[in-house]
Amino acid sequence: MTDWHAEPAHLCLYPFLLAASKRVEESGVTLENLISSAVFERARLRGKSRITEAIKEGTIRKPVIISDTQAEMELLSYPFARILVSCIRDERLVRRYALSEAKAAHEKLLEESSRRGSSASASANIIYRMSEEFGIRMDFLAGEREQVQVPFVDYLRFTTNLRDKRWKLVNRGLGKGKLKLRKAEFVRIVQEAIYERIKKDLPLDVPEDICKAISRYTEDIKHELEEMRNAAGYGFELDSGAVVKDPSCFPPCISYVLSNLKEGVNVPHGARFAVTAFLLNIGLSKEEIIGIYRNSPDFDEERTRYQVEHIAGDKGGVQYTAPSCDTMRTYGNCVETDEICEKVSHPLNYYKYKLKLKQKQEQKQKTE
């Protein structure tokens, strides 16, 4: 495999690369140094911030690198972040962290691959090198620098979790076993490859004594994680005192989909339709619903807006109602049923029923 750029200032932007791992190994920094030496406190704090940024923002900022020392600390922060995530041992955090690292790399890769003029060859080079890194065979089309072609086998390896219809093989032109993609689409596939690589080895098997030694960092992260999970709603603000938007009364099927969306899990089209229609039916605005989808790995604001507006009736004049329980079961979206599910036939009826129960309980408590 062709060596990646060896400069620390570039490697630290893509710390999941094999060349970055090799650089860390050759640096002579031991695990003991990384977790306890005062010299590497900056790397440890940056490692912690990588995770808190993932929890709060769903991505990880890429700082402007102004020195080799800063680059080395940035590079070392990545293995420390992996150790922290592994010590916390939370499956959802693993997914969210891996997705956030992949998204951040995707944004940087798009930026670097879109340079024009004298940097055009470098832009093409970074695409070639990334494809080589992940074993994706690709070539630019003759005379083109904005379109590539890849074997359909390689295409399928990294698009099976992309739910949008545009990624379906039947919606792609296939010729001689290869598919044509816009360069930006190829970079999106690279994001999936990055996500899979980062997630694959997590959590690491970290000895308990090491986890104890870095507990002051992991406790802060656990606090951030708990705050996020206890926050009202699922990525949208509830009106003060407005029980009509009370997520504690959502049916299990809707709560499950919302939880996956918040954690950055790819959700099937049918489940997205169901949760969007449900939230519109109970009074959430289109902007609130679009905000919920921002953590999705394949989030496209323009496309999401169009779909939400279509379900809301802005495009065709008909506002859709959330699917019935029977329909949810047919498409495999009925999960984690409870005793109320047995009494209703529609998610909206579940919501109304549970709201009434909650209101009665609250009234009873006030009376007592």
Look at residue 119 in the predicted model and tell me its pLDDT.
53
Look at residue 1 in the predicted model and tell me its pLDDT.
41
Residue type, 188: R
Handedness of CA 228, 234, 237, 242 (dihedral sign): negative
CA separation, residue 249 to residues 20, 50, 61, 239, 279 (Å): 47, 34, 36, 15, 12
Q: Which residues of the chain have pLDDT under 70?
A: 1-6, 115-123, 143, 229-245, 316-317, 368
**Residue boundaries of the structural domains of the chain:** 1-89+213-230, 107-202, 232-367
| DSSP states of 222-289 | HHHHHHHHHSSSSSSPPPTT-GGG-GGGS-HHHHHHHHHHHTT----HHHHHHHHHHHHHTT--HHHH
Look at residue 2 in the predicted model and tell me its pLDDT.
43
Residue among 78, 192, 42, 41 at smallest CA distance from 130 = 192
pLDDT digits (tens, 9 = 90+) for 330-358: 888 998 888 899 888 999 999 998 988 88
Look at residue 316 in the predicted model and tell me its pLDDT.
66
3-class SS at 141?
Answer: coil
Nearest-angstrom CA–CA distance, 297 and 263: 10
Look at residue 116 in the predicted model and tell me its pLDDT.
53
Look at residue 237 in the predicted model and tell me its pLDDT.
36
Look at residue 21 in the predicted model and tell me its pLDDT.
93
3-class SS at 334?
Answer: coil
Residue among 130, 170, 177 at smallest CA distance from 153 = 177
Model pTM score: 0.70
